[in-house]
Structure 1
């Protein structure tokens, strides 16, 4: 019973566990994969803006899968990310359609412009 009350306030304990496990997988990678994966993880936390915990955990787990597989196969970092790491990271994040914090602001912007257009038409 207490766990449900705690989760109501803090969020899913299972998601937190999965997040920590995926983070540990990234930190356990050999170099240079650890450095690259850490950079992408940080960027995705800022750029991705995902507010849905399940989506965030899945994205991080998939990131860990990608870099673990690259390390096992000996695939070079540049072979994975190409010439533009930002483009790679943003394309990776876009594959996860979860709710993002910016969605609310986009809706507000559209409503503000529509409101301005209605006022303009009424003048």
Structure 2
């Protein structure tokens, strides 16, 4: 019984460390970007942290993909506006749609739909 609990605690601790290391690698990648690309990704990251996935793995995958996009764009000499377009919110929302897992808004939409389905099911 106790060994299961201890194993669970070890798994949580090492998983947390691995996630932190992955995040630090992501941040180090951003430091290599040109200043304007770094400023843009910082702004997008802030927005996406509010509206993006709540699950750590999904969130980190999203951030890694965002870094990939900006690294490739910087290497190709692509301007920030050419990446995000004229409406950065539209870009961010489109990007976020690729990572629906763990988003609080997705959970709330599902909760609303289920509640209405239950309420409608009890109607004569």
What's the TM-score bracket when you normalise by the shorter of the two chains? 0.7 to 0.9
Alignment partner of 2:25 out of 10, 21, 27: 21
Contact 1:52–1:99 at 8 Å: present in 2 too?
A: yes
Q: Residues 1-123 of structure 1: matches in 2 within 5 Å?
A: 5-8=9-12, 12-48=16-52, 50-119=53-122, 121-122=123-124
Contact 2:100–2:106 at 8 Å: present in 1 too?
A: no
Pairwise CA distance, 1:59: 1.0
Call closer, same or farther: CA 1:3–1:18 in 2, change over 3 Å: farther
Q: What is the CA–CA distance in structure 2 between the aligned matches of 1:67 and 1:112, rounded to whole Å? A: 41
Q: What is the CA–CA distance in structure 2 between the aligned matches of 1:98 and 1:56, rounded to whole Å? A: 9
List structure 1 segments (4+ residues) > 6 angstroms apart after TM superposition. none
TM-score, normalization: structure 1? 0.80
Q: How many residues align?
A: 120
TM-score, normalization: structure 2? 0.79
